[in-house]
Amino acid sequence: MKPKKPELRLLKTGSGDMPVSGATLIDVARMAGVSPITVSRALNQPQLVRPNTLAKVQAAIEESGYVKNMLAGGLAQSRSKLVSVVMPNVANPIFADMVQAASDTLTAAGYQVLLGLSGYETWREELLVETILSRRPDGVILTGTLHTDSTRHRLQKSGIPVVETWDMTPAPIDMVIGFSHEEVGRAVAGHVIERGYHRIAILSMDDGRAARRRQGLQVALAKHGLSVIATEIMPGSATLQLGRAGTARLLDAHPDIDVIVASSDTLAHGALIEAATRGLPVPQRLAVIGFGDQNFAAHVQPPLSTVRVDGSKIGNLAARAILQRLDPQPGVSIQPVTDTGFELVQRAST
Amino acid sequence: MKPKKPELRLLKTGSGDMPVSGATLIDVARMAGVSPITVSRALNQPQLVRPNTLAKVQAAIEESGYVKNMLAGGLAQSRSKLVSVVMPNVANPIFADMVQAASDTLTAAGYQVLLGLSGYETWREELLVETILSRRPDGVILTGTLHTDSTRHRLQKSGIPVVETWDMTPAPIDMVIGFSHEEVGRAVAGHVIERGYHRIAILSMDDGRAARRRQGLQVALAKHGLSVIATEIMPGSATLQLGRAGTARLLDAHPDIDVIVASSDTLAHGALIEAATRGLPVPQRLAVIGFGDQNFAAHVQPPLSTVRVDGSKIGNLAARAILQRLDPQPGVSIQPVTDTGFELVQRAST
DNA sequence: CTGTTAGCGCTTTCAA
DNA sequence: TTGAAAGCGCTAACAG
């Protein structure tokens, strides 16, 4: 057992040498001739510190190259200023839009984004969420409303604000910002029926939300005595190639298909290319309907009909919902459960 | 001054009640009838703990719903298990590919990604890097090699591994994984010259790396007595619309342009659409060259020539470079400075 | 294999 | 307006 000399550390750390690696708040305090807590205040609540003192502290900070340690700060305050955004991947532009918007909004409010890419399996998400919670984020934004029980419980017990996105659910973990995928399917069905298509095919990714849209579509079609004549479910993540390949398979098996309902604009775009290659006029001979739309559908050739959803809007709303919970702004109000809506965008002649 | 009773806290925290919010390591320790450090070991170095003890600890963890606190752990160990990935945005697919790959690699190694979206101005990046450093990440992956002096110094002083990406530089902060944009420009020039194009236009974003490519292109062209007859620099971030609009401006002013060199595939795609709208056969009447390529160029109609770079590869290499520094693997070796190369992909007839 | 002690760097009471 | 003391929850460094 050695002698207890707390001052010893101070002397060691601050010895006249260069500030080799990291200056601490205590170092800054000593340089400025004030107590550590004063430096802390100068940093976090400058209005509580006399301008004179403030100046001394700031000089010391400059000179020492001090960088705040949020690990220590977060531990002491139980506030990490971290918000985690969890989604399957960032390759899909609608997710990229979501993180981008969430990040912008959160950064502006002094938070940082802990990125969690979960893939499409809930057990992966479960592992990820556990790791994420160990960082004590101040909020979590999830994609979708389908999670393991364990994920739901852990998040609920954590007591931090949680937003589920891109979908609706009667039993949210906490807050929800999304829309009904079944309803999207129904809307597409309405459009298909109205246009009089009969030979309907689905080109879709292996993804739960896409499945819900297919479901909504098929149920609504059935009510009108229509059914889907072929379905192609692609594994992995959507690419133009997959869209082409899937379309080729569909058309090879059923040359008389008159409309392809794709689960994403990327697949739909692939379908357009395949159609062009085969010399099938779109939409006269073969109509193609997409989903997603990054102001995209109207600009490819030929233009697509698509269901337009706005990842930026969802990301922004989700971030604002979290922020509103963290420090409530009297003026602002965000519905805990919000339907951001979707929009069926038709090309002139589809 | 109150009596010092450290035991008091223990009694308070662990009072027979429900584990209301967060159980701590100490709570778990008491439940398992061991010391805190044993729990810590059970979690981090299970092989050092007798199976019997381990079981008791695990039971206690289950029962208490304990979640590790990495803020505390990180503070104690000075290792946050966090790596920050900084890039202008995540909307550009090549950047999305980069984060995705970096995240995959880092997650597999037990690290998490702190996302930093910096925009295209170095002063924004500077602010961001400062905030990021306050989280004490174990590594930082930057985009580009153009940074403020302050950014460079702070990072260098921090002593953590840093990788700059997407570019080469004679004076790296630490490590570099990228390629020369001037050289890309030169390669494009070679292609243009070889094909005999004379009426050369540039369609580009307002971005430093794009500028370097333009520079390389123009210098190389000049050596062959060629010059660019028109340049359109678009603000903001690349979209199909911008590509169309820019192309329209170029063609309106110079109807005889025979090749457009675009700074991204998105812009190039926009150019294709505009060309199609005007009935200009590509590439017979107007050739279009892109940059980026997410296996994209070959699949749009008509196909593009493009300079292919691989965001995934860069992200993966960058992550591995960081990891290799954090705990060196004898077998593995990654060049501190690596040229990932690029590839000029030609369509058959361009 | 397990425990004791002493912090990591910051912020929270309270007090001055 | 400033300071002293006591922790936040965890782990390193030694013991035993």
DSSP string, B189-204: HHHHHHHT--SEEEEE
Query: Considering only CA atoms, which of B128, B101, B102, B106 is closest in space to residue B117?
Result: B128
CB contact under 8 A, B91 and A100: yes
pLDDT tier for residue B93 given thresholds of 50, 70 and 90 = confident
CB-nearest to B90 from A99, A136, A295 is: A99
Mean pLDDT of chain B: 87
Query: Considering only CA atoms, which of A90, A84, A99, A109 is closest in space to residue A161?
Result: A84
Q: Residue B152: list chain A partners with CB under 8 A.
A: none
- The answer to whether B96 faces chain A, any CB pair under 8 Å, is yes
Q: Identify which has the larger pLDDT, B238 or B232.
A: B232
- Name the percent of chain B lying above pLDDT 70: 90
CB-nearest to A114 from B112, B154, B272 is: B112
3-state secondary structure of B57: helix
Instruction: Read off the pLDDT of residues B129-169 as tens digits, 9 standing for 90 and up.
Output: 999 999 999 999 999 999 999 999 999 999 999 999 998 88
CB contact under 8 A, A295 and B240: yes
- The answer to whether A132 faces chain B, any CB pair under 8 Å, is yes
Nearest protein residue to nucleotide D11, judged by CA and C1' positions: B76
Low-confidence winner among A30-34, A256-260, B220-224, B342-346 (lowest mean pLDDT): B342-346
CB contact under 8 A, B70 and A134: yes
CB contact under 8 A, B136 and A69: yes
Question: Which residue shows structure tokens 């017990």?
Answer: A157
β-bridge pairing A139-143 and A162-165: parallel
3-state secondary structure of B290: strand
Task: Give the Cα separation of A32 and A26 in Å (integer).
Answer: 10
B276 touches strand C (CB under 7 A): no
- The answer to whether B204 faces chain A, any CB pair under 8 Å, is no
Q: How many residues would you count in chain B?
A: 350
Return the pLDDT at A177.
92
Return the pLDDT at B208.
84
Chosen from A75, A85, A115 to mutate, greatest number of chain B CBs within 10 A: A115
A45 touches strand D (CB under 7 A): no
pLDDT tier for residue B180 given thresholds of 50, 70 and 90 = confident
- The answer to whether B91 faces chain A, any CB pair under 8 Å, is yes
Task: Give the Cα separation of A90 and A98 in Å (integer).
Answer: 9
Chosen from B135, B136, B152 to mutate, greatest number of chain A CBs within 10 A: B135
Nearest protein residue to nucleotide C14, judged by CA and C1' positions: B1
Taking the model in full, what pTM does it have? 0.89
Q: In this model, does residue B340 exceed pLDDT 80?
A: no
B 240-269 residues, CB < 7 A, strand D:
none
pLDDT, mean of residues B280-301: 85
What Å value separates CA A110 and C1' C8? 25
Question: Which residue shows structure tokens 């390629």?
Answer: B179
CB contact under 8 A, A104 and B114: no
Rounded to 10 degrees, what is the CA torsion of B227, B233, B237, B238?
-50
Task: Give the Cα separation of A109 and A104 in Å (integer).
Answer: 9
Instruction: Read off the pLDDT of residues B43-79 as tens digits, 9 standing for 90 and up.
Output: 999 999 889 899 999 999 999 999 999 999 999 999 9
Positions in chain D where some atom is under 7 Å from a protein CB: 1-13
Report the gap between the CA of A112 and the closest CA in chain B (Å).
Answer: 7
Which chain B residues in 270-309 lie under 8 Å from chain A, judged by CB atoms?
270, 272-273, 276, 295-296, 299-301
A40 touches strand C (CB under 7 A): yes
Nucleotide nearest to B12 (CA to C1'): D7
Task: Give the Cα separation of A124 and B165 in Å (integer).
Answer: 29
Task: Give the Cα separation of A259 and A346 in Å (integer).
Answer: 14
Nearest chain B residue to A86 by CA distance is B113
Return the pLDDT at A118.
95
Residues of chain A with pLDDT under 70: 1-21, 294, 336, 346-350
Residue B337: partners with Cβ closer than 8 Å, 6 or more residues away: B168, B172, B175, B176, B177
pLDDT tier for residue B10 given thresholds of 50, 70 and 90 = very low
Task: Give the Cα separation of B107 and B113 in Å (integer).
Answer: 8
Is residue B115 within a helix (H) or strand (E), and if so which, with residue range? strand B112-117
Q: Identify which has the larger pLDDT, B331 or A226.
A: A226
For residue B207, the one-letter residue type is D
> At A308, phi and psi to the nearest 5?
-95, 125
B76 touches strand C (CB under 7 A): yes
Task: Give the Cα separation of A266 and A239 in Å (integer).
Answer: 6
Is residue B76 within a helix (H) or strand (E), and if so which, with residue range? helix B70-77
Nearest chain A residue to B68 by CA distance is A134
CB-nearest to A157 from B65, B107, B159 is: B65
First to last CA, chain A: 84
CB contact under 8 A, A75 and B80: no
- The answer to whether A165 faces chain B, any CB pair under 8 Å, is no
pLDDT tier for residue B346 given thresholds of 50, 70 and 90 = low
Is residue B106 within a helix (H) or strand (E), and if so which, with residue range? helix B93-108
The three-state DSSP-derived secondary structure of chain A is: CCCCCHHHHHHHHHCCCCCCCCCCHHHHHHHHCCCHHHHHHHHHCHHHCCHHHHHHHHHHHHHHCCCCCHHHHHHHHCCCCEEEEEECCCCCHHHHHHHHHHHHHHHHCCCEEEEEECCCCHHHHHHHHHHHHCCCCCEEEEECCCCCHHHHHHHHHHCCCEEEECCCCCCCCCEEEECCHHHHHHHHHHHHHHHCCCCEEEEEECCHHHHHHHHHHHHHHHHCCCCEEEEEEECCCCCHHHHHHHHHHHHHHCCCCCEEEECCHHHHHHHHHHHHHCCCCCCCCCEEEEEECCCCCCCCCCCCEEEECCHHHHHHHHHHHHHHHHCCCCCCCCCCEEECCCEEECCCCC
Nucleotide nearest to B23 (CA to C1'): D9
